[in-house]
Amino acid sequence: MSSIISISGVTKTYATGFKALKEINLDIERGEIFALLGPNGAGKTTLISIVCGIVNRSSGSVTVDGHDISRDYRAARSLIGLVPQELTIDAFETVWATVNYSRGLFGKPPNKAFVEKVLRDLSLWEKKDSKAITLSGGMKRRLMIAKALSHEPRVLFLDEPTAGVDVELRQDMWAMVRRLREDGVTIILTTHYIEEAEAMANRVGVINKGEIILVEGKAELMRKLGRKQMRLELRAPLAAIPDGLSRYPLELSRGGNELTYTYDNQSDRPGVASLIRDLEAAGVQFRDLDTKNSSLEEIFVSLLRQEP
Amino acid sequence: MNLRAAPNFRAVWAIYRVEMARAFRTVLQSIISPVISTSLYFVVFGSAIGSRINEIDGIAYGAFIVPGLMMLSLLTQSISNASFAIYFPKFVGSIYELLSAPVSYLEIIIAYVGGAATKSIMLGLIILATAALFVPLRIEHPFWMIAFLVLTAVTFSLFGFIIGIWAKTFEQLQLVPLLIVTPLTFLGGSFYSIHMLPGIWKTITLFNPVVYLISGFRWSFYGKADVSVGVSLGMTLVFLTICIAIVAWIFKTGYRLRN
């Protein structure tokens, strides 16, 4: 069995009648970094909260490493570390006390050396005797992560880990996520910053209006849905696209000085090489060219647009 | 509940320790202020007014009010300790950690209610020690005195826990203690024997559960009671059972916690 989390048929309807999740089926593979993408209010946090035991689901079942989250909640929950979106810490506790508290709460025996290592890894060791209230926002975020890692989880949920976080901390966090993955920890992150998913994830799931609309390996997704563009800077402006090139989807811009060719990665359209040959044949000369892949963000936006 | 999984005693201990640490961090609020207010009661009721009141049931007035005063603090402090302890993490959002931890509801209850009850019992004993400075005390039934002390502390900590879970705002958190508990305690015979009340009021008073607590507690001190001790004990246990039933229902449904 390779999936560490298995979600099947999970729904959530709030007391207000709002359907936050409609029939979610999702498997998370052991050791992967999975990015759950979706706009605000799509149901990302609700889904995570259900898996972590914070919110009761309306129906369906979830197992974590084979343990049912209701029947076997102790075994299931002790495998999971959660870093929620909001900075919610008891402000009057010291860093040291609150991280050790988290470890105890998850039933792990005290281990000062381990807690020290977690704090050092997150550059919090110097602050260990400070109260949480005195920490900066970035430090508080690190503290939330330290709490989640204090009990040596095998699965780590990062809910919008870099929302409102500065560049330096963001890079530190990405480095930490990669380190954890090398140790075999499975990581699930939600985000609406697509660059984050693009930089880190192995697989991407897109959720919208309480439904998973797609789950794909990131590379396949980019290959399948990604578009490429080649831009040619022309030596002399063209008034119109020459007849010999009509079979290519070309666009002229910047007063006829730039020619753009858009193609998807998987289509059977004639390739770049033949276009260049045909350009030469048509007597069109260019000064420079560059190509670019569409980003996950563009894919994401186009996916959401397709949704009715 | 899964019987194979071992209870998470470490979690109970972790929560309990945090709760106790808070009491010592806020020592002024949790311990010194009740001691001051109790001393004021002794000065006003015990000395100033008490000197004009004859003995009640053969007990000097100053000594007569001690069990009632202890109960007064025990009730209000148990409720405020426990309700705040669970309301605060709900309010700041840090409750996510408790809910995502491998702890059972029973363990959560034992830790929070245990912490709150411990604090109010300590407080009760401090008030007793303070009182001993003002009036001569005797405790005829120490075992029952402790039993009433613990039972009451646990029962009202549970009650406070329920309020803390129910409350959505700080105002609601204060509402029940202010509008219900304080009046019931003042009308519960802290400062008088219910035999001193005129007929109809005496009957009405018998519907006040606090009367039974104070009466039983006073009996453990002086061997004199407004109502029989068995009834006092029975009423305390009934209230405890009601609280346990409500808590069980809260946890079964996830009321205001997991919804």
- The reported pLDDT for the residue numbered A266 is 59
Residue in the block written with tokens 């015990």: B46
Q: Considering only the beta carbons, identify the residue of B2, B104, B254 that sits closest to A72.
A: B2
- The reported pLDDT for the residue numbered B35 is 81
Q: For residue A246, give both structure tokens.
A: 């009509």
- The reported pLDDT for the residue numbered A152 is 94
Contact (CB<8Å) A91/B92:
yes
Q: In b/e form, how buried is each residue of B173-211, taking b as 16+ CB within 10 angstroms? A: beebbeeebeebbebbbbbbbbeeeeeeeeeebeebbbb
pLDDT classification of B259: cutoffs 50, 70, 90: low
Q: How far apart are CA A37 and CA A7, in angstroms?
A: 17
B98 neighbourhood in chain A, CB within 8 Å = 105
Residue in the block written with tokens 């697509």: A194
- The reported pLDDT for the residue numbered B3 is 42
Contact (CB<8Å) A90/B92:
yes
- The reported pLDDT for the residue numbered B149 is 93
Q: For residue A145, give both structure tokens.
A: 């992560």
Task: Write the CB contacts of B151 (distance below 8 Å, at least 6 apart in sequence).
Answer: B236, B237, B240
pLDDT classification of B108: cutoffs 50, 70, 90: very high
Q: Considering only the beta carbons, identify the residue of B5, B14, B100 that sits closest to A80.
A: B100
Task: Indicate the fold that domain A3-223 takes in CATH.
Answer: Rossmann fold (3.40.50)
Q: How far apart are CA A262 and CA B66, in angstroms?
A: 88
Query: Which chain A residue has its CA at the smallest distance from B13's CA?
Result: A104
Helix (H, G, I), strand (E, B) or coil at A47: helix
Q: For residue B224, give both structure tokens.
A: 């004199």
Q: What is the DSSP letter of A181?
A: H
Helix (H, G, I), strand (E, B) or coil at B223: coil
pLDDT per position as a tens digit, A29-75: 999 999 998 888 888 989 999 999 999 899 999 999 999 999 999 99
Q: How far is B2 from chain A (nearest CA, A)?
A: 6
Confidence check: pLDDT of B2 > 50: no
CB pairs under 8 A between A and B: 92
CB B1 within 8 A of CB B104: yes
Contact (CB<8Å) A73/B258:
no
Q: Considering only the beta carbons, identify the residue of B2, B92, B100 that sits closest to A52.
A: B100
DSSP output for A74-142 = HHHHHTEEEE-SS----TTSBHHHHHHHHHHHTTPPP-HHHHHHHHHHTT-GGGTTSBGGGS-HHHHHH
Instruction: Report yes or no: A75 at the B interface, CB cutoff 8 Å.
Output: yes
CA B55 to chain centre: 27
What is the rounded average pLDDT of the residues B127-140? 85
Task: Write the CB contacts of B53 (distance below 8 Å, at least 6 apart in sequence).
Answer: B61
Instruction: Report yes or no: A280 at the B interface, CB cutoff 8 Å.
Output: no
pLDDT classification of A161: cutoffs 50, 70, 90: confident
List the single range of A43-57, A285-299, B130-144, B209-223 with lowest mean pLDDT. A285-299
Based on the number of CB atoms within 10 Å of its own CB, is A306 exposed (0-12), middle (13-18) or buried (19 or more)? exposed
Query: Which chain A residue has its CA at the smallest distance from B88's CA?
Result: A90
Contact (CB<8Å) A84/B5:
no
Q: Which of residues 44-63 of A touch B (CB under 8 A)?
A: 49, 52-56
- The reported pLDDT for the residue numbered B1 is 41
List the single range of A69-83, A159-173, B135-149 with lowest mean pLDDT. A159-173
- Best B12, B91, B100 member to test A by mutation, with max A CBs in 10 Å, is B100
Q: How far is B14 from chain A (nearest CA, A)?
A: 5
- The reported pLDDT for the residue numbered A74 is 92
Contact (CB<8Å) A106/B21:
no
Task: Indicate the fold that domain A227-306 takes in CATH.
Answer: Alpha-Beta Plaits (3.30.70)
Q: CATH 3.30.70.100 occupies which residues in chain A?
A: 227-306
Helix (H, G, I), strand (E, B) or coil at B258: coil
Q: How far is B75 from chain A (nearest CA, A)?
A: 26
pLDDT per position as a tens digit, B52-65: 777 777 788 888 88
CB B88 within 8 A of CB B173: no
Contact (CB<8Å) A84/B96:
yes
- Best B2, B22, B26 member to test A by mutation, with max A CBs in 10 Å, is B2
Q: CATH 3.40.50.300 occupies which residues in chain A?
A: 3-223
pLDDT classification of B159: cutoffs 50, 70, 90: very high
Q: How far is B16 from chain A (nearest CA, A)?
A: 10
- The reported pLDDT for the residue numbered A105 is 93
pLDDT classification of A268: cutoffs 50, 70, 90: low
Instruction: Report yes or no: B254 at the A interface, CB cutoff 8 Å.
Output: yes
Q: How far is A143 from chain B (nearest CA, A)?
A: 13
Q: For residue B203, give both structure tokens.
A: 């009957």
Q: What is the mean pLDDT of chain A?
A: 85
pLDDT classification of B112: cutoffs 50, 70, 90: very high
Contact (CB<8Å) B93/A84:
yes
Q: How far is A154 from chain B (nearest CA, A)?
A: 14
Contact (CB<8Å) B8/A90:
no
pLDDT classification of A171: cutoffs 50, 70, 90: confident
Instruction: Report yes or no: A106 at the B interface, CB cutoff 8 Å.
Output: yes
What is the rounded average pLDDT of the residues A208-213? 89
Cβ-based neighbour number of residue A238 at 10 Å = 17
What is the rounded average pLDDT of the residues B111-135? 90
Half-sphere exposure (Cβ direction) of A131: Cα atoms closer than 13 Å: 7
Q: How far is B250 from chain A (nearest CA, A)?
A: 13
Query: Which chain B residue has its CA at the smallest distance from A70's CA?
Result: B1
Q: How far is A196 from chain B (nearest CA, A)?
A: 25
Instruction: Report yes or no: A77 at the B interface, CB cutoff 8 Å.
Output: yes
Q: How far is B159 from chain A (nearest CA, A)?
A: 23
DSSP output for B50-107 = GGGS--BTTB-HHHHHHHHHHHHHHHHHHHHHHHHHHHHHHHHSTHHHHHHSS--HHH
- Best A57, A86, A87, A105 member to test B by mutation, with max B CBs in 10 Å, is A105
pLDDT classification of A188: cutoffs 50, 70, 90: very high
Contact (CB<8Å) B10/A104:
yes
Query: Which chain B residue has its CA at the smallest distance from A97's CA?
Result: B18
What is the rounded average pLDDT of the residues A195-207? 84
Rank A22-26, A274-278, B47-51, B73-77 by mean pLDDT and report only the highest: A22-26
Beginning with the edge strand found earlier in the chain, give each strand of the sheet holding A286-293 in spatial order.
A250-253, A258-264, A227-234, A286-293
- The reported pLDDT for the residue numbered B66 is 87
Task: Write the CB contacts of B70 (distance below 8 Å, at least 6 apart in sequence).
Answer: B124, B127, B128, B131, B149, B217
Helix (H, G, I), strand (E, B) or coil at B145: helix
Instruction: Report yes or no: B25 at the A interface, CB cutoff 8 Å.
Output: yes
What is the rounded average pLDDT of the residues B141-153? 92
